[in-house]
Amino acid sequence: MMIFEPNENLKKVVEKISVPSLKGKSIQCNFPNRIHITPIDCNRFNYGKPGGGGIGFALKANNYLKIQLASETEFAGDEKVKPVALRALYAMSHNLGFADGFKITVNQSQEVKAHIGLGSNACLLTAICSSINELYDSPLSKRELMQIIGANFVEEYNGKCVLGLDTGVAPATSLYGGCCLVSEESVVVWQNDFDFIPKALLVFPNTARASFEGAEDDVMLKRSFYEDLKSRGNISYEILMDLIPAIVNKDLHKIGDVIWNIQFSGTHLSMIQGYEDYGAKIYGLFGKIKSLGAEIVGLSSVGPCIFVISKNMQSILEYLQSENIENMLCDIQTKPIEFIFD
């Protein structure tokens, strides 16, 4: 495992361009989290390359970001996300060639912790890169932004950086809003505003994932490579032939059927079985929530966060409260990140 500073091992993925004048002295935004419904094939993931693909959707969150011109680089916020935040700044500087200093202020939702399946680091990287791009009058396209994010993606480790794996789903859903299907090299294949689903319930089960040292990706993917070799054809087919038409037709039951099937094969099977009791607690919670009438239930990314969509949440909320299982309702973010200039 290679450990490095945020300004080291940077990759340039865009041609040299003339950076236009700044549009203002500061910019701010609220940025989303994302639900990762499923990757397509973990064997296509690669460190230091743009996303390996998947499908997911954006969730509104109380994540706040402000970037101001400063005499030198400053950071204000949770020290745990400082290396990731500075990485985004240095990646943009490396690709655009600007020499301006910035103060970055980050305030992420307290409910959203790192490594629970909501893409907190990828969404933060995207928010910072896209804010800087907007501040410079958008010299980069969304596609170029996604390439920069994917090529320079990192996770925090002991106050420094380690290479991480970016599927491209968090950048896509942040930059486009709604639900996005992304293929390898962070190519956005399809997008839907997902506005027929107003809210998603996030459930945080009382279960533990295996402990590990270093980048979590190494542990996460040990069995996923094997399981995806068996299941990637079926998952690709279900996404193309069943899930996307169901979303277009706003058919919650069909969407739920496809997502339910995905929980028992490929990456999701290996991830869920990586939890205590060989995943029995998570699968048991899936079944209980389904029995209470939820149309859609699934694990987001590697979890343990579970996402639930139902026309009638009341019985589900009452059950979770009775079992003292942490949860929160979130609005779907149907539109891209919006910026405010000062």
> Looking at residue 222, what is its pLDDT?
77
Query: By CB neighbour count within 10 A (0-12 exposed, 13-18 middle, 19+ buried), where does 273 fall?
Result: middle
> Looking at residue 208, what is its pLDDT?
76
> Looking at residue 17, what is its pLDDT?
78
| CB-side neighbour CA atoms (13 Å) of 150 | 28
> Looking at residue 215, what is its pLDDT?
54
pLDDT at 223 over 90: no
Element (H, E) at 189: strand 187-192
The tens digit of pLDDT for each residue in 245-271 reads 999 999 999 999 999 999 999 999 999
Beta bridge partners of 340: 28
> Looking at residue 210, what is its pLDDT?
61
Q: What average pLDDT is seen over the chain?
A: 93
Total-model pTM: 0.94
> Looking at residue 115, what is its pLDDT?
77
CA dist 51 and 170 (Å) reads 10
> Looking at residue 59, what is its pLDDT?
97
> Looking at residue 36, what is its pLDDT?
97
In the DSSP assignment, the letter for residue 117 is S
Other Cβ atoms closer than 10 A to 322: 8
Domain boundaries, the chain: 3-193+333-341, 199-331
* Cβ-contact 313, 201 below 8 angstroms: yes
> Looking at residue 301, what is its pLDDT?
92
Amino acid letter at 271?
M
> Looking at residue 216, what is its pLDDT?
54
| Cα–Cα distances in angstroms (integers) from residue 289 to residues 42, 57, 176, 265, 315, in the given order | 28, 21, 30, 20, 9
> Looking at residue 213, what is its pLDDT?
52
Stated length of the chain: 342
pLDDT at 98 over 70: yes
Helix and strand counts by DSSP (H, E) for the chain = 11, 14
> Looking at residue 221, what is its pLDDT?
74
> Looking at residue 219, what is its pLDDT?
62
The listed CATH number (3.90.380.10, 3.30.450.20, 3.30.230.10, 3.40.1410.10) that belongs to domain 3-193+333-341:
3.30.230.10
Structure tokens at 331: 């609005």
Q: Which of these, 198, 168, 174, lies nearest to 55 by C-alpha position? A: 168
pLDDT at 97 over 70: yes
Helix axes 169-176, 120-135, angle to 10 degrees: 50
Comparison of pLDDT for 16 and 156, the residue scoring more: 156
**pLDDT band, very low/low/confident/very high, at 100 (cuts 50, 70, 90):** confident
**pLDDT band, very low/low/confident/very high, at 220 (cuts 50, 70, 90):** low
Find the mean pLDDT for residues 72-76.
94
SS3 178: coil
> Looking at residue 176, what is its pLDDT?
98
pLDDT at 214 over 60: no
Q: If one looks up domain 199-331 in CATH, what number appears?
A: 3.30.70.890
> Looking at residue 218, what is its pLDDT?
62
| CA 50 to chain CA centroid, nearest Å | 14
pLDDT at 342 over 90: no
Q: Which of these, 154, 185, 156, lies nearest to 168 by C-alpha position? A: 185
With a pLDDT cut of 70, the percent of the chain lying above it is 96
Q: Which of these, 55, 36, 33, 43, lies nearest to 243 by C-alpha position? A: 55
70-74, 90-94, 221-225: segment of lowest average pLDDT = 221-225
Helix intervals (H) in the chain: 82-96, 120-135, 142-151, 169-176, 216-220, 224-238, 244-248, 252-262, 266-273, 280-291, 314-322
Q: Which of these, 61, 53, 62, 64, lies nearest to 34 by C-alpha position? A: 61
The tens digit of pLDDT for each residue in 131-172 reads 999 999 999 999 999 999 999 999 999 999 999 999 999 999
In the DSSP assignment, the letter for residue 18 is P
CA dist 102 and 104 (Å) reads 6
SS3 340: strand
pLDDT at 212 over 70: no
Q: Which of these, 220, 214, 217, lies nearest to 2 by C-alpha position? A: 214
Q: Which of these, 191, 148, 153, lies nearest to 172 by C-alpha position? A: 191
